[in-house]
């Protein structure tokens, strides 16, 4: 997948990507899926993301969105960052961008 960063933001094939599109691209890459197979309602478990894949996704999200995600891989249920679905991850990113921006 050719995802690039430019002064206009993150782009895929020359077009700007929304936060949802970027998260789907990150998750699809780590789950070795086509982005079309990932929806906002998808859970990471449904997509086959294990604990290592989850940590890799979190690192990729932090890098892509220039945020720090408050996530403890040793105790993910006690995190303020909801990973229950792709949509909840997008909501968390939006909140963190507002707080950390």
Whole-prediction pTM: 0.81
Domain of 42, CATH number, reads: 1.10.1200.10
pLDDT at 72: 83
| Range(s) of the domain holding residue 43 | 3-100
Q: Answer yes or no: are the C-beta atoms of 57 and 30 closer than 8 Å.
A: yes
Q: Place 62 in a pLDDT band, splitting at 50, 70 and 90.
A: very high
The per-residue pLDDT for range 71-88, each reduced to its tens digit, is 887 887 788 889 999 999
Number of domains in the chain: 1
Which of the 8 DSSP states describes residue 36? G
pLDDT tens figures, 2-59: 444 434 455 555 556 799 999 999 999 999 999 999 999 999 999 999 989 999 999 9
pLDDT at 101: 73
DSSP three-state, residue 9: strand
């Amino acid at each position: 997948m050719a995802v690039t960063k430019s002064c206009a933001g993150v782009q895929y094939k020359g077009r700007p990507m929304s936060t949802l599109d970027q998260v789907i691209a990150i998750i699809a890459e780590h789950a070795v899926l086509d982005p079309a197979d990932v929806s906002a309602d998808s859970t990471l478990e449904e997509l086959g993301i294990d604990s290592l894949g989850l940590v890799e996704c979190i690192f990729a999200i932090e890098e892509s969105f220039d945020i720090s995600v408050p996530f403890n891989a040793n105790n993910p249920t006690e995190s303020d960052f909801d990973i229950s679905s792709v949509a909840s991850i997008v909501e968390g990113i939006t909140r963190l961008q507002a707080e950390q921006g």
